[in-house]
Amino acid sequence: MPAKITAAQYAKENKEIKQKIEDKTGKTTQQLYEEREKRAREAIELKEPDRIPLVCHPEFQIYTGIKNASAYYEPIVYKRAMRDITLDLEPDMCNMGLPSSGEAMTLLGVTNRLWPGGPLPPDYDYQFVESEFMKEDEYDMFFHDPTDFNIRRFFPRMYKSLAPLMDLPPLGNMYQGFEMMTAMFASPEFIKMGQTIAKAGAETKKFREFIGDSYEEMAQLGFPSFAHVGGGGVGGAPFDTVSSFMRGMKGSMVDMYRRPEKLLKLCDMIIERRIAEAKPADPKKRGNPKRVGMPLWRGDKAFMSQKAFEKFYWPGLKRALQADIDLGFVPVPFFEAEFGDRLEKLLELPRGKVLASIEYVDAVKAKDILKDHTCLYVRIPLSSKLWSIQEVEDCTKDLIDKVGKGGGLTLDVRLPDKATHEGLRKLMDNIREYSRY
């Protein structure tokens, strides 16, 4: 694979690939898209499709040899690598990732993320860094005027380049006198900030033009998208937002005991504003139903008790899930740890309207709890990265035997790192055949 490729070359490749797919299969890529989308839809609706829908997530750096940094600095190289993985392994739904401009993040001085090619070496994985961006005595400031708080406190703490914003006077009650502030904007600090924002904006614009609509490009080759954050909806559990982006894990968990009413009010305020600003699913866009990703992390047993879960976590999450359903989306909540009996809460939502992404360890219990109510998206253990191909195949087939009967199942086949491309293609072929109803 060449290290560099232009947008024109990429578009030409896609046109040639489309023709090859149609020549090989005897079907149009639109027909192939509809077949895969129908398979996913029927699974979500708790019907038995022709077989269990499959998704796979190999490490693209390992599979293609392209460094992880390409997702931040070489968007066409990155999406080409993701495309070629999909073409090679032929999952029923594809994932093109969430690439971002590393240049823009560097200019802005992002403090809550570390990314390859920027603060990290080019072959490292992305890392999230929690900080206390809202202090314990700032709840009332946020309640009084969240926009003012974000401008004068939140953004300057998260982005180093925006530090001058902390010198602004309170904006919520300012109805005249803006001209008195203009001298501040003429200061070297504000001039530099403005120049930096403009440069970051230009980098982001350029990056987005290069990355284009990679999901639509894959749809034109016959592959529906699985679900991706940023695709609409109202987001995940508001407690996760507070815990990871505002108060930090320590702060939010101390607040459950020291200021629970303020914490609950903040969670309510976040979800209410999200719902008020959300737009319904666009019927003109591909995919039916419209799946939207919802990462979740703080609601499992390792972080909070059942009592705390029911008080602080589930109410906001339930509202988010129901709002997505009402807006015409199928929410895909990613329960990123063992949730066990807490999955019973999904029974409070409409039948066949949620795709619950769960860890392998929860699969049997979840099937027992949610059978005939909620489709499961089961992720093979992350440790499978270190397994042999045969071990992954055996594990997947065993899972199908245990929870695959009767429909309502989608599988994420996590692939081993040390395997040939031929071996991984054969693995996917074997699982496809074994998963037929």
Q: What is the pLDDT of residues 265-287, one digit of tens each?
A: 999 999 999 999 999 998 888 88
Res 2 pLDDT > 50: no
Cα distances from 188 to residues 29, 164, 194, 320, 391, in angstroms, run 56, 10, 10, 43, 61
Q: Is the Cβ–Cβ distance between 68 and 61 less than 8 Å?
A: yes
3-state secondary structure 123-163: CCCCEECCCCCCCCCCHHHHHHCHHHHHHHHHHHHHEHHHH
Secondary structure (3-state) at 219: helix
Full-model pTM: 0.94
Task: Please give the Cα distance from 121 to 242 (Å, whole number).
Answer: 30
Confidence of residue 173 (pLDDT cuts 50, 70, 90): confident
Between 261 and 2, the more confident residue is: 261
Among candidate residues 414, 359, 363, the one with its CA nearest the CA of residue 389: 414
DSSP state letter for 57:
-
Confidence of residue 229 (pLDDT cuts 50, 70, 90): low
* Burial of 230 (C-beta count, 10 Å sphere; 0-12/13-18/19+): exposed
Among candidate residues 234, 233, 239, the one with its CA nearest the CA of residue 310: 239
State residue 1's pLDDT score: 44
Q: Is the Cβ–Cβ distance between 39 and 55 less than 8 Å?
A: no
Which strands form 290-296's sheet, in the order they lie side by side? 54-56, 409-413, 375-379, 355-359, 329-335, 290-296
Segment 136-158, tens digit of pLDDT: 999 999 999 999 999 999 999 99
Q: Is the Cβ–Cβ distance between 297 and 244 less than 8 Å?
A: yes
State residue 289's pLDDT score: 82
Res 258 pLDDT > 90: yes
pLDDT (average), residues 9-30: 97
Res 5 pLDDT > 90: no
Q: Which helix (H) or strand (E) covers residue 88, if one does?
A: helix 75-89
- Straight-line distance from the first to the last Cα atom of the chain, in angstroms, rounded to the nearest whole number: 38
Give residues with Cβ within 8 angstroms of 401, minimum separation 6: none
Task: Please give the Cα distance from 290 to 332 (Å, whole number).
Answer: 10
Secondary structure (3-state) at 283: coil
Give residues with Cβ within 8 angstroms of 389, minimum separation 6: 416, 419, 423, 424, 426, 427
**Residue positions counted in the chain:** 437
Task: Please give the Cα distance from 212 to 378 (Å, whole number).
Answer: 30
Residue given tokens 């019907």 in the structure block:
47
Percent of the chain at pLDDT > 70 equals: 98
DSSP string, 341-383: GGGGGGGGSPTT--EEEEEGGGHHHHHHHHTTT-EEEEEPPGG
Give residues with Cβ within 8 angstroms of 168, minimum separation 6: 151, 152, 181, 184
Given 3-state DSSP classes, what are the helix, strand and coil percentages for the chain, each rounded to the nearest 5? Answer: 55, 10, 35
Task: Please give the Cα distance from 102 to 306 (Å, whole number).
Answer: 40
Segment 290-302, tens digit of pLDDT: 999 999 999 988 8
State residue 241's pLDDT score: 97
Residues forming beta bridges with residue 333, ordered by sequence position:
294
pLDDT (average), residues 236-243: 97
For 157-296, strand residue ranges (E) read 290-296
| Single-letter code of the amino acid located at 145 | D
